Amino acid sequence: MAEKQDITMDKIVSLCKRRGFVFPGSEIYGGLANSWDFGPYGTELKNNIKQYWWKTFVHGRDDMIGLDSAIIMNPKVWEASGHLENFQDPMVECKNCHERFRADIVDLSASCEKCGERRGFTDFKQFNLLFRTHIGPTEETSSIAYLRPETAQGIFINFDNIVNTTRKKLPFGVAQIGKAFRNEITPGNFIFRIREFEQMEIEYFFNPKKENWEEKFEMWLESFKKWMNDIGVDSKKLYFHDIEKEELAHYSKKTIDVEFDFPFGKKELFGLAYRGDFDLKNHKISYTDPETQEKFIPHVIEPSLGVDRMMLAVLVSAYTEEKTEDDIRTVLKIDKKLAPIKVAVFPLMKNKPELVEKAKDIFDKLKIDFMCEFDDNGNVGKRYRRQDEIGTPYCVTVDFESLEDGAVTVRDRDTMKQERIKISELQNYFKNNLQ
Ligand code: ATP
C-alpha cells in the first residue's frame, strides 16, 4: 500500500481530471486561472457530502432547521456586518514581476514564488475581498451590490422570520448550504482556495444566561469530529488549533481552526467559533423569551465548513495505491455513502446480446434504489480498474453461467474478492452492504 506521504497533489488532480471529478474551468477557451468545474462524479460526491451534512445536522436533530437565502442581498447587510469595511487581506506586490500575494501568507524575506527574483515586495495595502456587481441596467454607485462572501449573514438577517414562522425556542440552530464568493488575492492548491466556493454553515443561537457556552461549543466540536469520522476523513491528519487569546477576533471568546494535513501542508479545513452577540447586534436584532418576556440578544456558535475543502480532504483520505502482482492499483477507498456510484453493472462481453440484455435488466432494477452505472466497454479487468478509481464499492458482472444459474459475480472494491450472488438476492445484498 502507498505510504500516505506518496500522495501528491499531482496524483489527486490527475485522478480528478482523468475520472471526471473536477475539470479545469473554461478549458476549451484556454481556461480561467483557479476556476474549476465539477464533473459527473465530482458532482455526485459533493452532493453526497452536502446531503449527509444536512441529514446529520438538520434532519437528525430536533433543534435545527434549514434555510436557503439569496446570494445578492441589500448592500446594507455588508455595511452592518462589517464586511464592507473590514473584509480585507493585506496585499503586497513583487517589485520585479508585479505578481500580488497575501502579505500574511507569503515569506517577505524570500524570493518571489512566481518569478524567482529577490527584488523584494512593495509595502502592503489592504485589499477588500468582496466581489462587486451592479443591479439593473445602470452602472451607478447606487446600483452597486455584492456577491455574498459567506452564507452566514443570510441566516442572521432572517432570524425574526424564522422565530416567527417555526415557533423555535432557544437554543436552536439554522443551517444553510450555498455558494460564496471571495476575490482571493492568492487562490490556489486546486480546489482548496477558490474564488467561487460552497459553504455549509450553522448558526446555533442560545441564551447566554441559561446555557453554558463551553458545553455547547464542546457539543458542536464532538458532533463534527464524529461527522468527519463517518465520512472517512483521516483522523490522523486532523489538528485542532485553539486560537490564542491575543489572536482571537474581538467578539470571540473561543475559536478552533480545524486543520487537515493536505499534501501541500497543514491548512484550515473549517472553523468553529463562539461569536457572542456580535452578528445579531450588528443587525439590531433581539429575542424575547416567550416565558419570561425578557428581551435580549442571543449568542451564537458557528461551525463554518467549506464543501470544496471537505471534498479535497475526503479525496486525500481515500486515495490509495496498492501493489498488485503485476502493477499498482489506484483505488479511492471512499466511504460507501459518499461513493458517487454504488454499483457498476457489466455484461462480460459487449457483443453477446443475451448477456447485455440480462445486465441491462439488472441495472434497471438496481438503479431504482442505488446510484448505478452500466458499462460494457473494454475488458472486465479494465472496467474494474476504472470503477476502483471512481471509488465504486461493488461491480456486478453477468457472464454465461448467469444465464444458467441465475447468479452473478459481485466484486468488492477494497478486498477485490468476488462472490456469486443470486440475481433475486442482489437488492437485499446491496441494501445490507451499502448502509
Ligand atoms: P482562510 O484563512 O483559509 O482564508 P477563512 O478563515 O477566511 O479561511 P472562513 O471565513 O472562516 O475562512 O470561512 C469558513 C470556511 O469556508 C473555511 O474554513 C473554508 O472551509 C471555506 N472557505 C473559505 N474561503 C474559501 C475559499 N477561498 N475557497 C474554498 N473554501 C473556502
Q: Quick one: pLDDT at residue 105?
A: 86
For residue 192, report the distance from its CA to the centre of ligand 1, in Å: 9
State which ligand 1 atom lies nearest to the alpha carbon of 184: 27
Q: Which atom of ligand 1 is nearest to the CA of 306?
A: 20
Per-residue confidence (pLDDT) for residue 137, from 0 to 100: 86
275 lines ligand 1 (CB under 6 A): no
Residues 163 and 142 sit within 8 Å (Cβ to Cβ): no
Distances, alpha carbon 240 to alpha carbons 2, 178, 260, 405, in Å: 26, 25, 9, 55
308 lines ligand 1 (CB under 6 A): yes
pLDDT at residue 312, as a whole number: 98
- Give the number of the atom of ligand 1 that is nearest the alpha carbon of residue 257: 18
d(CA 379, CA 213): 59
d(CA 271, ligand 1 centre) in Å: 8
Protein residue closest via CA to atom 22 of ligand 1: 306
Mean pLDDT by 10 residues, the chain (435 residues): 71 97 97 96 98 98 98 97 94 93 91 92 93 90 93 98 95 98 95 98 98 98 98 98 95 96 97 98 97 97 98 98 92 98 97 97 97 96 97 98 97 97 97 92
Assess contact for 238 and 258: CB atoms under 8 A. Answer: yes
Q: Cβ(178) to ligand 1 under 6 A?
A: no
- The finding on whether 197 has its CB within 6 A of some atom of ligand 1 is yes
Q: Is the CB of 183 under 6 A from ligand 1?
A: no
What is the Å distance from ligand 1's center to 394 Cα?
35
Q: Which protein residue's CA is at the shortest distance from atom 19 of ligand 1? A: 306
Contacts of residue 75, Cβ cutoff 8 Å, sequence gap at least 6: 84, 144, 145, 146
pLDDT at 308: 98
Single out the residue of 176, 266, 274 nearest to residue 220, CA to CA.
274
**What whole-number distance in Å separates Cα of residue 305 and Cα of residue 231?**
14
